[in-house]
């Protein structure tokens, strides 16, 4: 099986097949996600919260994103790997944005990049496409803008705000984005955007009508306890399983049960 491409994603949209996307931040989990057949692995700047233990994504650096994308790419055979441009890696100038986006493809094995925003970055999106760097846009709740938004809040709730979101989505498509993440927007707004765009929409907290869905892996696996957004679903509690296994190891060492002969050399 060859790697998923943007052409495959367009085909899925046209055939009404759902696109699946998950985050991953390291080799072992990237390998598991890839083996499950997930279409897109996003190396999200959510790494700051779920791996680095930060309160938000703002301090995550470009070098950290390159490191995580590199080790994810090593574990992936089939999924499309998308690198997430962190805060202040593309906001300062188009030149800086293109240079940093290029690093994901040149150094880290990604096939595309994601940026938060659309209308404010339409020129950047165009420049990235000119440089042969596929771009996924991201609108609605954009966590890099938490201070401007006043927190992690649902976007597009009023008629005017919904209109602006729909317009932003159109701008992203016109600028050349190959898909767009819709985060924390009312489901009827996401449905309208999905119907109006020819590129796939990937929802997170945007209801069931998007062309695809994305979740943060640590939310799905029960590895992030601080906060579970209303839109995230915990499919398993791996923290509990890990705690059980580690506690058993501790007891077995303390009681002389481990290592047994089986784990020793003669």
Q: In whole angstroms, what is the distance from residue 105 CA to residue 60 CA?
A: 19
Contact between 45 and ligand KIV per CB under 6 A = yes
Contact between 46 and ligand KIV per CB under 6 A = yes
Among 62, 181, 182, 223, binds ligand KIV (CB under 6 A): 181
Contact between 44 and ligand KIV per CB under 6 A = yes
Among 23, 127, 155, 213, binds ligand KIV (CB under 6 A): 23
Concerning whether 183 is annotated as a catalytic residue, the answer is: yes
Shortest Cβ distance from residue 68 to ligand KIV (Å)?
11
Q: Please say which residue, 44 or 212, places its beta carbon nearer to ligand KIV.
A: 44
Shortest Cβ distance from residue 205 to ligand KIV (Å)?
9
Residues 76-115 as x/- pattern, contact with ligand KIV by CB under 6 A: --------x-------------------------------
Q: Please say which residue, 110 or 214, places its beta carbon nearer to ligand KIV.
A: 214
Of 25-33, 44-52, 63-71, 246-254, which part binds ligand KIV (CB under 6 A)? Answer: 44-52
Number of residues counted as binding ligand KIV (CB under 6 A): 10
Shortest Cβ distance from residue 228 to ligand KIV (Å)?
13
Shortest Cβ distance from residue 215 to ligand KIV (Å)?
8
Contact between 204 and ligand KIV per CB under 6 A = yes
Shortest Cβ distance from residue 144 to ligand KIV (Å)?
9
Contact between 201 and ligand KIV per CB under 6 A = no
Contact between 180 and ligand KIV per CB under 6 A = no
| Ramachandran angles phi, psi of 212, nearest 5° | -155, 175
Shortest Cβ distance from residue 64 to ligand KIV (Å)?
13
Q: How far is CA 115 from the centre of its chain?
A: 11
Q: In whole angstroms, what is the distance from residue 219 CA to residue 131 CA?
A: 34
The full 3-state SS of the chain, as one line of letters, equals CCCCCHHHHHHHHHCCCCEEEEECCCHHHHHHHHHCCCCEEEECCCHHHHCCCCCCCCCCCHHHHHHHHHHHHCCCCCCEEEEECCCCCCCCCHHHHHHHHHHHHHCCCCCEEECCECHHHHHHHHHHHHCCCCEEEEEECCHHHHHHHCCCCCCCCCHHHHHHHHHHHHHHHHHCCCEEEEECCCHHHHHHHHHHCCCCEEEECCCCCCCEEEECHHHHHCCCCCCCCCCCCCCCCHHHHHHHHHHHHHHHHHCCCCCCHHHCCC
The half-sphere exposure of 204 on its side-chain side, counting CA atoms within 13 A, is 25
**Choice among 107, 173, 183, 225 that is catalytic:** 183
Q: Please say which residue, 46 or 194, places its beta carbon nearer to ligand KIV.
A: 46
What is the set of active-site residues? 183
Q: Where along the sequence are the contacts to ligand KIV (CB under 6 A)? A: 23, 42, 44-46, 84, 181, 204, 214, 216
């Amino acid at each position: 099986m060859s790697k998923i491409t943007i052409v495959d994603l367009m085909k899925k949209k046209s055939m009404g097949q759902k696109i699946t996307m998950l985050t991953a931040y390291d080799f072992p989990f990237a390998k598991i996600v890839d083996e499950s057949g997930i279409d897109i692995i996003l190396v999200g700047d959510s790494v700051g919260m779920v791996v680095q233990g930060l309160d938000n994504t703002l301090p995550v650096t470009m070098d950290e994103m390159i490191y995580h994308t590199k080790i994810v790419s090593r574990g992936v055979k089939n999924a499309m790997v998308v690198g997430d441009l962190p805060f202040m890696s593309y906001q300062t100038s188009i030149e800086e944005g293109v240079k940093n986006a290029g690093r994901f493809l040149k150094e880290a094995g990604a096939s595309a990049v994601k940026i938060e925003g659309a209308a404010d970055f339409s020129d950047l999106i165009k420049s990235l496409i000119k440089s042969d760097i596929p771009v996924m846009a991201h609108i609605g709740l954009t966590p890099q803008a938490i201070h401007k938004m006043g927190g992690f809040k649902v976007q597009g709730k009023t008629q005017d705000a919904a209109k602006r979101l729909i317009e932003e989505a159109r701008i992203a498509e016109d600028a050349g984005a190959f898909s767009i993440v819709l985060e924390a927007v009312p489901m009827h707004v996401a449905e309208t955007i999905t119907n109006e765009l020819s590129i796939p929409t990937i929802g997170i907290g945007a209801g069931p009508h998007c062309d695809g869905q994305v979740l943060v892996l640590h939310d799905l696996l029960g590895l992030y306890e601080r906060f579970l957004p209303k839109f995230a679903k915990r499919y398993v509690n791996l923290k509990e399983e890990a705690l059980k296994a580690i506690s058993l190891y501790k007891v077995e060492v303390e009681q002389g049960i481990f290592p047994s002969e089986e784990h020793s050399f003669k």
